[in-house]
Chains A and B, each alone.
Chain A
Amino acid sequence: MSDHSIFTRPARFAAIAPYVWMVLFFLVPFGFVLKISLSQTAISQPPYTPVFDFAAGWASIEAAFGALSSDNFHLLLSDDLYVLSYLRSLVVAAVSTSILLAIGYPIAYGMARLPKQWQPIAMMLVIVPFWTSFLIRIYAWINILQHDGLLNQILLALRLVSAPVVWLSTDSAMYLGIVYSYLPFMILPLYAVLAKMEPALEEAAADLGASPREVFWLVTFPLSLPGVGAGVLLCFIPIVGEFVIPDLLAGSNALMIGQTLWLEFFTNKDWPVASATAIVLLALLLVPLLLYDRLQRRQLEQAR
């Protein structure tokens, strides 16, 4: 029995570890945020009530639970600011993800069809930007896009424009920044699926009379759907909550939900409303995740 446990104990720990991690670093903080979202704002430290007073005993905790309310969630629905922020986030994420897919797919396809010895180099080129801080890269874009930046200088030098164009603080600049930053997250899962695909499948389709376009839409694309799903989720979900890129590159007339959340937390010091905003955002993002999960499960069942 004792020499069994030598092997089973680490194995059991390895199986449990992810759950421990999830509970400690996701569920517990989530519980905090959920609790704060149901509280009232207050000018105090911390800036909300009620606070659990463990020293005062059970009655105090009971009272605290009784004081919880869903006022903050009502506020989110009643004020246009929040609804519009959510909508803008979803629209920006959807548009960006579509652009990312349209650009990322051909790149991933090209990489997967490169001679084997060139593929690791192409992969490196996709990953290399990660070696530089994300913030520095976004600041570099500000430099390029600003009034007397590189882009305007080139356009003026080529006489394509007569006066500097306003690029910075526009939606175009924001989309540019998002697409630039998230492109590797779209390319890598697509590349992984396309590189694994047996080249004989495309040849078989052509052999059976499929034109190059038919080969792509009837064989290549359907077989790459798991990669498309992974890439879309890897981009869509973080873009919805994106804060830095819209804050630095977009104008200030319309806010994404990440920016609204930041304002509530740091400018308004309204932690309860900020927490409620975060909870609703999480609920919104769970929808596509669950859909993807169901889709994958159905595919697995079909394959069985």
Chain B
Amino acid sequence: MAGDASNTAIVEEAEKPVPLPVLIADMPLLRIEGVVKKFGGFRAVDHLSLDIRAGEFFALLGPSGCGKTTLLRMLAGFETPDEGRILLGGTDIAQVPPHLRPVNMMFQNYALFPHLSVRDNIAFGLKRAGMARAQINARVTEMVALVKLEGFERRKPDQLSGGQKQRVALARSLARRPQVLLLDEPLAALDKKLRESTQLELMELQRRLGMTFIIVTHDQEEAMTMAGRIGVMDAGRLEQVATPRELYEAPQSRWIAEFVGDVNLFDGHVESRDAHRLTVSTRDAGTLTVAQSRYLVTKTIVSVAIRPEKVKLSRRGPATDSAAAPAINRLDGVVTDTSYLGGFTVYKVRLDSGAVVRSSMANTARLEMNAYSAGQRVVAWFTPDDCVVLEQ
């Protein structure tokens, strides 16, 4: 439904718009090049570069104050970069004011115009683009149907629930058929159940419209659920840009491993290495055999990261008849704490060294056959491939 013809129409009718991006093969829709934004002496965004392809659902993830919102605001035009370029389809838009950019934003608290009805809120951007009245009416009707708000057109924002406001904000930001839709924590104000269903609707919508979505969020689950690629930011820089799976299974740094999901970390030094394996001597977990990382580890001081669900517990340890058996890491300890969370249970195991390892095990059986209880002696084990070795 988002035909190229109508896209062109809107942009041509605007005041002095940025020309419609011409998509050249191999060129990303949006290229951020060495962008710096300073507030006083503080670098909110620090020499950041990033390419985003057309049709991508991209998430900027990071703790509060990491610069993700500042970056989004620079894409919308509310902040101007101090250095660097922002290329949209090859045109530098870094200095273009917001009202002349073919980019729209959905605001965190929706920023609906309280004095305008739902219909007028959605029509606001279309009127500014100088669209004909009949066209505006048709587009508004279409957007209202898209976000399932039929019958609410005449209401004022005050008369809507949180979820309905969110839909109006979405419809308003999509109405102009922007090249790129920016979403600033779009679901933060919704309760958990509504948030989950809205996540799926947003993904469905993005696929159907074929638009490029860039979402800012501090919620890693939200980013992983929705985005095709995630850029994790810290202190104004991109720490890693990867698919959700890569981010979780192959974090590039200790910081990422700790920020995304839960992780057990053992610090140590490399004793020996070959093409595939490293032997790491750790203070807390003895000598561990781990697989060589994709980002070749050359330093000797390292951390070994293991996700809790990769740590298996058993009473006697793993079966020892397989060929890989000698490489399996075995840690002896006592269960100190169990947290039953429905689908899985998290066990805390105090190793004989005194360190604590977390293991999460899926509750595949309904009856308490495989459960361990506090005080029980267990073996926590994991294979070399379960571990990620990270430079410190």
Residue positions of A touching B, CB distance < 8 A: 198, 200-201, 203-212, 214-215, 218-219, 222-223, 302-304
Contact = CB atoms under 8 A, between A and B. Distances in A.
B99 A203 contact: no
A302 B78 CA distance: 32
Given A201-B113, A214-B128, A206 B97 contact: yes
Contacts of A208: 99, 104, 124-125, 128, 172-173, 176
Contact of A211 (B15, B107, B114, B115): B15
A215 B100 CA distance: 13
A203 B176 contact: no
Contact of B129 (A209, A212, A302, A304): A209
A208 B77 CA distance: 12
Given A206-B99, A208-B176, A210-B99, A219 B113 contact: yes
Given A210-B99, A211-B15, A205 B107 contact: no
27 contacts: A198-B109, A200-B107, A200-B108, A201-B111, A203-B76, A203-B98, A203-B107, A204-B107, A205-B113, A205-B124, A206-B99, A207-B98, A208-B104, A208-B124, A208-B128, A208-B173, A208-B176, A209-B14, A209-B100, A209-B125, A209-B128, A209-B129, A211-B15, A218-B124, A219-B113, A302-B156, A303-B156
A190 to B, nearest CB: 17
A209 B113 contact: no
B158 A303 contact: yes
B226 interface: no
Given A209-B14, A209-B129, A204 B109 contact: no
A219 B125 CA distance: 13
B105 interface: yes
- Grouping DSSP codes into helix (H, G, I), strand (E, B) and loop, the A interface class, with mixed when no group exceeds half, is helix
Contacts of B99: 206-212, 215
A222 to B, nearest CB: 5
B109 A200 contact: yes
Contacts of B105: 203-204, 207
Interface of B: 14-15, 76-78, 97-100, 103-105, 107-109, 111-115, 124-125, 128-129, 156, 158-159, 172-173, 176
A215 B104 CA distance: 16
Given A203-B78, A302-B156, A303-B158, A209 B111 contact: no
Nearest to A219: B113
Contacts of B76: 203, 207
B86 to A, nearest CB: 15
Given A207-B98, A209-B14, A198 B128 contact: no
Contacts of B124: 205, 208, 210, 218
Contact of B111 (A203, A211, A218): A203
B277 to A, nearest CB: 53
A223 B76 CA distance: 24
Given A206-B97, A206-B98, A211-B99, A198 B125 contact: no
A303 B160 CA distance: 11
A200 B113 CA distance: 10
A217 to B, nearest CB: 12
Contacts of B111: 198, 200-201, 203-204
A94 to B, nearest CB: 26
A219 B78 CA distance: 17
B115 A223 contact: yes
Given A209-B129, A211-B15, 8 more contacts: A200-B107, A200-B109, A207-B99, A208-B99, A208-B176, A209-B14, A212-B99, A223-B115
Contacts of A212: 99
Contacts of A201: 111, 113-114
Contacts of A210: 99, 124, 128
Most A-side CB within 10 Å, residue of B78, B128, B172? B128
Contacts of A209: 14-15, 99-100, 125, 128-129, 176
A207 B128 CA distance: 10
